[in-house]
Amino acid sequence: IAQQAAAGVEGLRDSLSETDQRVKQLESRLKRSEARVKEIEDQQKAFEEELKARQDSLLEAAANASTGVYNPQTGGLIGSVAPLKIAIVSNYENAQTMLSKPNQVLLDDIVLTLKSDSAAMVVVEGHTCDRGSQEINLRVGDQRAQVAKRYLINRGIAASRIQTVSKGCSDPMVPNSSEENRKQNRRVVLKVTLGCQ
């Protein structure tokens, strides 16, 4: 009986030792996972700050350079009747159509502009990079524009004040020569004509 008890105790010790080793391995994996999560959160924060800085720069350049009324038939500006406000929502993943939180902040600024000027109208252009067929790119561009339109409508802007158009990959902002450039080309451009009657 004593031998059996000793063997049982030894078995329990071995089992506890294996359990302790397993717990240590799991704790080590948990620490590595937590470090990875922190690294990803830091990368996301840096990406969002860079995105905001780029968008601010593009908005400032557009605001300083653009006056006139947007003509959706030609895709250009006509006359100098009213100032044009432009917002560029970019850095979509390939075929992605949903809005990120930073991009929603940009659209909220457009909502404020439209609410403060009841005569203002907006054209929402959906753009893609050069990946995929023309048909798919036109569809994805349209979906991006429609998502942005729904966002504006859900925040109280009348659908009659919003026009959407898909440009597909036909109007790149930069050459589609790298993944970074393609991300910039995957975008929605909102062109607001202020004070139009």
* pLDDT score for 194: 79
Residues 134-161 have a mean pLDDT of 94
DSSP the chain: -HHHHHHHHHHHHHHHHHHHHHHHHHHHHHHHHHHHHHHHHHHHHHHHHHHHHHHHHHHHHHHHH-EEEEETTTTEEEEEEEEEEEEEE--PPTT--SPPHHHHHHHHHHHHHHHH-TT-EEEEEEE--S-S-HHHHHHHHHHHHHHHHHHHHHTT--GGGEEEEEEETSS-SS-S-SHHHHHHHS-EEEEEETT--
**Residue 62 scores a pLDDT above 70:** no
**Residue 81 scores a pLDDT above 80:** no
* pLDDT score for 72: 40
**Residue 71 scores a pLDDT above 60:** no
pLDDT one-digit tens code per residue, 162-179: 999 999 999 888 888 988
